[in-house]
Structure 1
Amino acid sequence: MRKLYACAGCVLFLTLLCRYSADCADAVRAAVTLCLTSAIPSLFPFFAASSLAISCGLAEELGHLLSPLMRRCFHLPGCGAAALALGFLGGYPAGARMSAELYHSGLCTREEASALAACCNNTGPAFLIGMCGGGLFHSLRAGLFLYAVHIVSALLTALLLRPKHTQSAAHAAKQAEQLPFSRCLVQAVTSAGRSCLMISAFILFFSVVLCLLRLTGVLFALCAALTPLLSVSGVSAPGVHSLLTGCVELTQGLAGLTDAAGTVSARLTAVSFLCAFGGLSVLFQTAAATEGLELARCVRGKCVHACLAALLCALLLLIFPSFSQL
């Protein structure tokens, strides 16, 4: 039965592609521009740097220093601190990809790497402070507030989803082979290039999916159904539409959370939720970047992170209303 549903879905998708071929082509062109001007320039340097840090032994050395703290708090190896920091600075899925590389290098177990990827797949300060704070709210303070909420909720996610038991520090007996720096650099650059291509492919695909959801009226039907439920929280119909859009493709959803989307508090909470969740596009980008890890744990981590980020943001705005006075 599952195979029958999959085949029916493929036939429907192909039919819609033929029916709306011109519109889908426009969506792909816009997505290519997004990849070339935003995604690849921001992700490629961090991907290359993370691979180089592991192959040169930097992550392992950092792990020796931070192992007591990471194991006591999160039941994770010390080298996970490097992935956690990269996730906060480089944006998704850079931290999750480094988690997978730590596993493939033998520096942590599959369970540890999966738990790490669930909490370090975050957006970076440039995106939250620059695009969300400056672009949407025209306020640096709003961006800093959102980034602080993002970090705290990610750390809370790491505490909630940490492995039940701390692995022995000796489990990673396999040491990363010391290679010449030139070879490490070549491997880092080629690996970063492959990852950027995979991520760009998912951005293109979900831009087409979002285009079809709009053209077939599915997105507007969902918006009409959810608007009465979310209007009590201060989110308008355009805001609900942007929320649903962001759950598929993040940047397009955020772009719609303008003044017409609802109150400032509601918009801040919506942005906090969407940036923590990342959308289906980011989830599948993570799947491509973390091959070999437990994808279900990564998805669970993003869902928990999104709920915590929205709850923490709403709670802080309730306690400190001045935060919403931008």
Structure 2
Amino acid sequence: MKKFLAAALAAFFAVFLLVCPKAASAAVSEAISACLEIIVPSLFAFSAVSVYLQKSGIYRIVLKPFTFVLSKILRFDEEICGIFLLANIGGFPVGITLISALQAENRISRKDAGRLLCCCFGSGPSFVIGIVGARVFGAIEFGAAIFAACFLSSIIIAVIVRARGEIVLKPAPQKLSLTSQTFVSSVNAAARAMFSVCVMIAGFSVIAAAMREIGLNALAETLFANLNLGENSGAILPAILDVTCVKDVLPTKNAATICAGLLSFGGICVFLQVSALSDGVPLAKFLLSRLPAAALSSAFALAFTQGLPVAAQAIAAANPALPQNLGLSLCTLAMCAILLNEERFASAG
């Protein structure tokens, strides 16, 4: 059955590419532009710094005040609390990157790695505040409220994970590793994550274009309209497929709850990116945790945005995102390609 389904989907997309080449090309072009202008600038630096903080051990010092408090709340080891913080401020790829590294080092079991991933997953503040807040609402206060809602949702999920059993992390030497090798390997890890993210976004843009052409978007819009989602009914399915499409949500009264829910859910494109970076980390419990996390985030966002003036939501959705430097984005992608190429040659040698 799986082989038949895979063959049918392959045949469908082959026909789509032959019949609608302009639509496919335009979708990929738009996706690449989004990666260059939004995704890479908002995620790469956070991802690289987060991985470096973990690999070097500096996070034990920098995050000590926060991990100490969190360890009392969550009843996790302080090192796990540090990974939790890095994952929720670094962006979607960071959590799975850090956890898969721990599993590769045999410091955590496969089962515990899968459980930990349930709460070590979130969009970083750079994207949520700088892009969603500024672009959708024209006010970073909304972005901050949405990020706080998503972060609190992750804390609740972490409490539930811990209530179902301790997560055991084997001890490791506590000395700092500030070598150039640590820095390069951290940037390499971030580069791999960005490469996976950008490729998957481009690929999913073609899937989304095909769904538009055959009318699935219109069908989904009608379905969500019946759920009283109003003007944003047409934005839900694209964001479920690729969460970066949350930037296209309209600033209606329920937009904050929609954005928070979609960001905590993550989207199918992100799920596939996580799978590509998982290196054997089991994903079943992580996937099951996404709907409860989305519901919690939506509820918290509704509460957190009540005090914000409704007038701020009426700002045109066409407000541009925070200015990005396309040249720097191109340089970043070029650096990613160079580092990946160097790593390939190093492993071959």
Partners of 2:140 and 2:167 in 1: how far apart? 41
CA distance in 1 between counterparts of 2:179 and 2:268 reads: 37
Map of 1:291 onto structure 2:
279
Counterparts of residues 170-189 of structure 1 (less than 5 Å): 172=170, 181-189=179-187
Alignment partners' CA distance in 1, 2:175 and 2:261: 41
When normalised by structure 2's length, the TM-score is 0.78
The share of aligned pairs that are identical, in percent, is 22
> Which residue matches 1:275?
263
**What corresponds to 2:195 in structure 1?**
197
CA contact (8 A) 2:118 2:289 kept: yes
TM-score (norm 1): 0.83
**Structure 1 residues 120 and 324 mapped into 2: Cα distance closer, same or farther (>3 Å)?**
farther
Check conservation: 2:47, 2:93, Cα contact below 8 A.
no
Q: Deviations over 1:260-317 (max 9, x none)?
A: xxx41x1121111112112211222222232221122222232221111113334566
Q: Distance in 2 between matches of 1:212 and 1:306?
A: 27
Letter in structure 2 aligned against 1:244:
L
Q: Is the 8 A contact 2:89 2:124 kept in 1?
A: yes
Deviation sequence 1:23-77 (CA, Å, 0-9, x none): 1111111111222222223332233333333332335678999887666644543
Query: What are structure 2's unaligned runs of at least 5 residues?
Result: 313-349
Q: Which residue matches 2:77?
A: 77
In the alignment, structure 1 residue 310 sits paired with structure 2 residue 298? yes
Aligned to 2:220: 222
Aligned pairs (5 A) from 1:142-153: 142-153=142-153
Question: What do residues 79-109 of structure 1 show as CA deviations (whole Å, max 9, x unaligned)?
Answer: 2222222233222222332222233233433
CA gap of 1:70–1:116, structure 2 versus 1, over 3 A, is farther
Cα RMSD for the two superposed structures:
2.9
In structure 1, the partner of 2:234 is: 241
Task: Give the SS at the match of 1:122.
Answer: coil
Q: Which amino acid aligns with 2:118?
A: A
Q: Secondary structure at the residue paired with 2:92?
A: coil
Amino acid at match of 2:273: Q
Distance 1:48 1:15 in 2: 40
Deviation at 1:126, TM superposition (A): 2.3
Higher RCO, 1 or 2 (CA under 8 Å, sep at least 6)?
A: 2
Question: Which consecutive unaligned segments of at least 5 residues does structure 1 have?
Answer: none
Note if contact 2:243-2:262 (Cα within 8 Å) is conserved in structure 1: yes
SS in 2 for 1:93: helix
Assess if the C-alpha contact under 8 Å between 2:74 and 2:159 holds in 1. Answer: yes
Whether contact under 8 Å (1:109, 1:172) holds in the other structure is no
